[in-house]
Amino acid sequence: MNVRSISINPDPQPTPSGARVLASFDLTLDGITMRGLSLVELSRGGFCIWSPRSTYDRMPTVNFEREARDKIVAMVQGHLADIRRFAA
């Protein structure tokens, strides 16, 4: 599993639900690339991964089980920490 093309949102504004999109990225896993994923900080605490919505029924195009989501969140947070460290 590899994070690709990560982009930090410099001024994450809360959505109506209070969630904030911190970064966008692509994820490659076993030869499959998922584009346009987002690391989101939830208003109740914690993080999740949002994927683009389907144009067919507005449902997320990708869903992750809890264990996979937690691994992806940790990986993206690590990349963000590295980017911020190098930018300082």
Q: What is the pLDDT of residues 21-65, one digit of tens each?
A: 999 999 999 999 999 999 999 999 999 999 998 888 888 888 999
- The predicted model scores a pTM of 0.86
Tens digits of residue pLDDT in 59-88: 888 899 999 999 999 999 998 988 888 877
Q: How far is CA 22 from the centre of its chain?
A: 8
Tell me, what's the pLDDT at 58? 83
- At 85 the three-state DSSP class reads helix
Strand order in the sheet with 2-8: 2-8, 20-29, 32-41, 47-50
pLDDT of residue 83: 86
Phi then psi dihedrals of residue 35, to 5 deg: -105, 150
Which pair of tokens denotes residue 25? 């990225």
Single-letter residue type at 21:
V
Q: Which residues are registered as beta bridge partners of 4?
A: 26
